[in-house]
Amino acid sequence: MTDEKAARLATIRAANAAKREWTAQPSAMAESAPAQAAGMPHTAPATSSASRSASSQPQRALDADAFADMPPAMAFQTFLGIMLAAILGAFAAIMALPTWLPGLSASLLGAEPKAYWYLSRSSAFVAYILLWLSMVFGLLMTNRLARVWPGGPTAFDLHQHASLLGLAFALFHALILLGDRYIQATLIQVLVPFQYAGYEPLWVGLGQAGFYGLAIVGLSFYVKDRIGRRAWRLIHFLSFVVFALALLHGIWSGSDSQSDLARAIYWASGGSVLFLTIYRALITLCVARAKVAGDGL
């Protein structure tokens, strides 16, 4: 077992221990209730604010800090390999497919080539869905919903994997357009935000900006120990901006945004992220108010 896997296993076990400690407390209080009703002597639970704070601490640790020290779910070498595969795959499709599959020449190199556009649109939807899953698991792991499914540590891992895989598909989505003769974009226009002046330049530029925002959030997993928890969490708030940019980019620059399937994807993803964000904000507000009320006793 590698040191990285051992560290992840130790952190997950600590999180599970905190969870068991928190869930065991209601049972202990329930066991003391029959003795109190029968008039038997018992040890009453402490009611001071310090005791209440201590009893709620394991759950806060599970929700917020239990995963902060976990190493990245995906090794950096693996992440680099996936990004390289996306780059090589895009250029292979641009340069090699017309030679390897001559039957596709009419679509790849004809007057109205569509194959590259279809590849770009399909990879765009995959990247967007992965970004949506990353948002969902990121919001789930910081509240009690993660206890129902899929579990805090699992949500943390899925959050990271979805984010990094989404970045790779987004890169492929952009690079494959270099083969589209209708778009006629250069490498600079594809990679530099707002440099493309052809099809929907504003919404394309917002999508490009969202890609670099996603890259910053994804790479922050690997520099968390160097920048500190506070900076890492602040960077992660950028995820909401990235998701909004990706949603706007997809709606306004997607050629199939008016289709029923695309509308269903955008409505379901946007609505679920909005719901989970509001839920998280309300839970955070309730916890803050409870803490203030407890400190005032």
Encode pLDDT of 80-108 as tens digits.
Answer: 999 999 999 998 888 776 666 665 555 55
- Are both 144 and 27 inside the same structural domain? no
Exposure on the CB side of residue 106, measured as CA atoms within 13 A: 1
Task: Note the Cα 160 to chain centre separation in Å.
Answer: 6
- Report if residue 139 sits inside a domain: yes
- Report if residue 71 sits inside a domain: no
Best-predicted range by mean pLDDT among 48-57, 176-185, 240-249, 286-295?
240-249
- Report if residue 7 sits inside a domain: yes
Instruction: Give the per-residue pLDDT at 218.
Output: 92
Contact of 135 with 273, CB cutoff 8 Å = yes
- Rounded mean pLDDT, 122-128: 96
- Rounded mean pLDDT, 270-289: 90
- Dist. CA 163–CA 215, nearest whole Å: 9
- Are both 276 and 203 inside the same structural domain? yes
- Dist. CA 54–CA 44, nearest whole Å: 16
- Are both 47 and 186 inside the same structural domain? no
What angle separates helix 201-219 from helix 238-253, to the nearest 10 degrees?
150
The candidate with the shortest Cα–Cα distance to 93, out of 110, 108, 82, is 108
- Report if residue 84 sits inside a domain: yes
Here the CATH number for the domain that contains residue 219 is 1.20.120
- Are both 198 and 57 inside the same structural domain? no
Contact of 142 with 120, CB cutoff 8 Å = no
- Are both 237 and 122 inside the same structural domain? yes
Residue-number span of the structural domain to which 185 is assigned: 76-294
Please indicate, yes or no, whether the overall pTM of this predicted structure exceeds 0.85: no
- Report if residue 70 sits inside a domain: no
198-250: per-residue pLDDT in tens?
888 999 999 999 999 999 999 998 998 888 888 988 998 999 999 999 999 99
Instruction: Give the per-residue pLDDT at 9.
Output: 58
- Are both 104 and 205 inside the same structural domain? yes
- Report if residue 245 sits inside a domain: yes
Q: Is the pLDDT of residue 296 over 90?
A: no
- Are both 83 and 123 inside the same structural domain? yes
Q: What is the 3-state secondary structure (H, E, C) of 2-44?
A: CHHHHHHHHHHHHHHHHHHHHHHHHHHHHHHHHHHHCCCCCCC
- Rounded mean pLDDT, 169-173: 96
- Report if residue 273 sits inside a domain: yes
| Backbone phi, psi, residue 282, to 5° | -65, -40
Which is more confident, 85 or 26? 85
pLDDT-derived band at 2 (thresholds 50, 70, 90) equals low
- Are both 215 and 245 inside the same structural domain? yes
Domain boundary among 65, 87, 109: 65
- Are both 158 and 54 inside the same structural domain? no
- Are both 137 and 264 inside the same structural domain? yes
- Dist. CA 253–CA 250, nearest whole Å: 6
- Are both 61 and 206 inside the same structural domain? no
What mean pLDDT, rounded, does the chain reach? 78
How many domains is the chain built from? 2
Instruction: Give the per-residue pLDDT at 65.
Output: 52
- Report if residue 290 sits inside a domain: yes
- Are both 199 and 112 inside the same structural domain? yes
- Rounded mean pLDDT, 189-194: 94
